[in-house]
Structure 1
Amino acid sequence: MLDAVLDAADAGFAITDRRGHLRWVTRLMADLLDLTVDQCTGRSLPALLTGAPDTPHDGLVISQSTRDGTDQRWLEVRCTEFRDDQLLYRVADISRWRATGIDRRQRTAWQAELVRLADQDPLTGLLNRRALTRELERRLAHGGTGALLLLDLDNFKDINDLRGHPTGDRVMRAIAAALREHLDDRLGERHALGRLDGDEFAAVLADTDEPTALDLADQLRAAVAVLPLTENGGADTTRVTISAGVAGFHPGESWQAVLANADLALHAAKSAGRNRVTVYEQGHYADTALRVTVHDRIRDAIAHGGFALHAMPIIKLGSKRVVGHELLLRLEDGREPRLSPGEFLPAAERSDLVLDIDRWVIGTAIDTLVAHPYPGLRFNVNVSGRTLEDEDFGDFVVRRLAAAGVAPGRLGFEITETAAVTNLSAARSLAQRLRASGCRISLDDFGAGFGSFVHLKQLPITGVKIDGEFVRGIDYGSRDTVLVQGIVDIARGLGISVVAEWVERASQVDALARLGVRVAQGFHLGKPEPLTTLLARPHVAWKRRNPRSLDEPGPVAEGSTAQ
């Protein structure tokens, strides 16, 4: 199984003896050397590379240039030593995106593809938040005018809760496709469409006035309302509506202000009954009940206790024992309209308020651990992409833990793979700081991004949480089985834990257990509940002196990294 995963990787791998003779190669390595796997065995790797020395040494970089007609291939080979059963071997790996570049044009095309993937939302294929806000900022900086359109799915959380995340994902992709088709028909290339976060989309409409944008938004609303979203062979039909906010933009404005204006218009549409479009009107909101904006509610919630935490159990599949809880944020300020995390978190992400939210969650989690000093009570908290850029966040966590006297191993952090890839340097720095202090740190939604296995080498993490996309069909004998098996095998080899999410039926539990997944979470295993409710119940397991760690099959040794 590990061979199959390595064959699918973006790099070729080989093992040689001390003299540089090949003992084992992956198919990709053989292809790059223009040989079959069998032909490689016993051949001298240096001899196969033009101009290379006779024997490779630690850290050596060998380049090969061969010409066949007008084509040219450049290979880069790195050799390092390792021990296996007391035998010294050498490992050679060829980075595929460098090695398979036939000429400069192909290398440039591949690099352009990497940039495109970094700007793409993995679920819908649309632009992600970073790319879309950058496009808005670019248009404003170049004196452009137009309108920003925000679209939010009404009551989308109900679809995920009642029909499951797989259905929710299918709905999200169908709506994204419909929005893209209608905008392409009306505006051609004069628009940029993206998914901001959760169930919120946005479109930058170039050279479009507000009346035109309003008409277009209303057409999009009507188109979504009649989408034939069916499942189970057409027996079940899912109906979705959207609310939209429109805000014009002009040179001299900041992209943050334009987003805030569109956000006000969007929430005005929701407050007016949803399934409608509202245009931002300057000064209109100051004298109405809508003057309490999302940002105001977030600030008030942080200051006056309007936030609450819910806890979702993380279960060891063999014993069905709870080994920890993921903490989920809820806004419970008693105001209308009620806002789900998918409604207020995107607004917080677009401002510095998300930094305050993350610190509030951490502080509350630590205070709870102090009040309930049972080793078996362990929490995982999510870290936003914006917080990765907060250089003081790691020190803040370490100081709070030290002042509270809480064992760092009782607190874990989850960073989405997409956020980590967007700012890999910041993610690595934060992970190193937290890991060195003894905290657990996991890569969430693992497998959703480009080059997932490469990230395991670059981030000092203790675990991965398999993206639900790979779990939802795990019991149907799909390709997901091979991918999950590969993740499990590699994680075990690196000494890091594996958790599966989106477990919604018993057959998934059986399939995951057969693949070696030991820990999971999902509505089938346990739904989120208020943290206060959880803490009010007696839990004998919390009081065990030596509970099993969340890190299955075992945590990384102190001070080590998953490299």
Structure 2
Amino acid sequence: MFVLSFRQRDELASIAAAAGWQVVAARRAGGAERRFLSSGAAVAVVDARGAAAEGLAATAALGSAIEANGGALLALVSRGENGAITALYDAGATHFLASPFSDAEFLQALRFSARHAERMAREWQAGAVFAPLGWRYARADRTLILTPGLASLLGCDEQPTVRTVLRRLDQGDRLAATAALRRMTGLRPATAFAHDLEGVGRIVQHLQFDPGAGRVDAVVEPLGSTPEPAAEVREALAGARDAGSARRWLTKHLDGAGVAPLHILLIALNRFEMVNTAYGRAAGDALLRSAQARVKDAVHEMLGRDALVARMGGSTFLVAMQAPRLRIDLVAERIASALARPFVSGDAIAVLGCRIGLAEASPQDDAASLLRRASEALAEARESDSATLRVADADGGSAAIDRLAVELHYAIERNDIGILFQPQVAIATGEIVGVEALARWQHSTLGTIGAETLFAAAQRADLEIGLSDHIQRLALAQAANWPPELADVRLSLNLTAADIARPGFADLFLDRVDASGFPRTRLTLEITESGLIEDLGVAAALLSVLRGAGCRTAIDDFGTGYSSLAYLKALPLDYLKIDKKLAQDITGSPRDRIVVRGVIDMARSLGLTVIAEGVETQEQLEGLATEGCQIYQGFLCAEPLSVPALSTLVAAH
């Protein structure tokens, strides 16, 4: 066991050692997480008596490691400190003991903590996971949603009819259930009732009514067991992966042979507790949802949807995938970049960042040992002043982007970098009116690498201009030889910040277009917000020349930067492309929809055609169409395509 006491005399370690425990003792919170993980202990003891602030900080430092690795944390508190107990529980403590207590009482508390850790370990090894039991009922449309655990227990779907569930109860219990639902009002928002459930025994249903949403949330407690935390039930109802399902996924993939090694990333947000303290738990929960969405976006873009993304508890997330190490390094860099962008929390902007621990599975690893090694790496990253990523058993290899940068020059020479075209569809007619040229690197070991990573490597290798020239030549050459089916389709090319800053670029580019044979009048040039920040005057002059020569101009990824309105006022533009995250907000909250509507209305008032990127569902498309968006691109129509596939699709449309 691991004991952290801030007292001069460490009598706790002596008591435990005399009873046969193997003890690792510490008196300072610094490095506590790393020391706990390296000790191999399953139980941690934090002595917060007379040192509430220090004890809370130590518990917060250990909490994620305890939760991720299935241990137990016994917190010792002074009697009467009820507020401290709540804070310690929220930080990750699993057991408590209030002073004064005898040596026997302390040892008994240790035994209970150890039994908790042993039970967690047995559940992991058996593949069992914690399955929250609960349900949600919307009064307006009588929609009932069950957590997966409860649906499995009842042997029904996760969205059954109310009648289906009530049939599982006898007549008396049905009356008790309906009476409980009816008696809840805004003045009496909580109630409970007990009944027998076949195959389970006696259970208690704890009901909470949300008047604003018109919704009832319930936590189901089998008597004799620990009540399911309401937060866990809410996450299960929202479809979030939790720590239990993550461990089951790891166990399954460790047992099976894969074409690539299994890697895991543990990602911890920096300074998250400051947001919770300053703005409240609701703001903290919203920030966690945003962070998880960013992690998912980065992972799905780089690894596809077979990768695991889970929240392990608190502000710690897990990513796992069977993939080459170099690709995992790229994912880690992308996640770190995504989480470094500011978050909106209430009326303030919070800048967090993250720390990441990476571990590669070895033949002798099980889920617990793999998680522990990743946790150790994460603890080292947290203790570092500057390093975002730490690797368990690191081999000292160069960073992934640096390695790609070295290879990029040869990739351009070997024509390993190609072009795909993503359709742009007129919403009113369904006609494919244009395509965006997107670069793809077919890497020999990593597979397909997208444009964002490609240009990050180019920037590192000082090859931005060379790569941009290469992509422009390829896209124009292919477009100039398109088949007749594509004769009316516009081509969109991206210009980089380096292109904008090049003296004489307009003449050089127009000569390149004319030499290719592709008509200027069917060409649209896109510039991202990040490519314009340095000098708006230079960008405006360049776009004016290109428009005067017959090309159209667009601002890309609108909504990702901080000076968007200045761009709209200063630049000669024809199109505004809404960033995919902003476009997908059309199906979000009322506030989200108002923002999207405002952007579309503003663009159309300025005479700009609005293109929405990243449209994936019919619901998103209908919402954008209702607000006046004219063109969309995204997976709802097609992924980026080769010329033959594009020609077939256009002919079909």
Shorter-chain TM-score bucket reads 0.3 to 0.5
Rg larger in structure: 2
Flag the structure with more relative contact order, 1 or 2, with Cα contacts below 8 A and sequence separation at least 6: 1
Compute the TM-score of the two structures, normalised by the length of structure 1: 0.47
